[in-house]
Amino acid sequence: MDAKLLEILVCPICKGPLHYAKARQELICRGDRLAFPVRDGIPVMLEGEARELAPEEEVGA
């Protein structure tokens, strides 16, 4: 994931910051507890494509 792209991307729902989970290839919104997939290096920032994080799932540091 390009660092400059990550700096400008925000959650499409709450407009909060996103955190890149490299191992899962996801962008995580801590506030909404959503994970947006990154497919072939392209973030899919659609609410319908996001998955909800389970209550026990880590949201990153």
CA distance 50 to 4: 22
Q: pTM of the predicted model, to two decimals?
A: 0.88
Domain annotation covers residue 14: yes
Domain encompassing residue 7: 3-52
pLDDT at res. 36: 98
Total domains in the fold of the chain: 1
Q: Which two tokens stand for residue 45?
A: 């920032």
Domain annotation covers residue 28: yes
pLDDT at res. 60: 62
**Which residues, other chains included, contact 61 with Cβ-Cβ below 8 Å and sequence gap of 6+?**
none
Domain annotation covers residue 7: yes
Domain annotation covers residue 61: no
Residue by residue, pLDDT tens for the chain (61 residues) are 788 988 999 999 999 999 999 999 999 999 999 999 999 989 999 999 999 999 888 766 4
CATH number of the domain enclosing 13: 2.20.25.10
| Cα 15 from chain centroid (whole Å) | 12
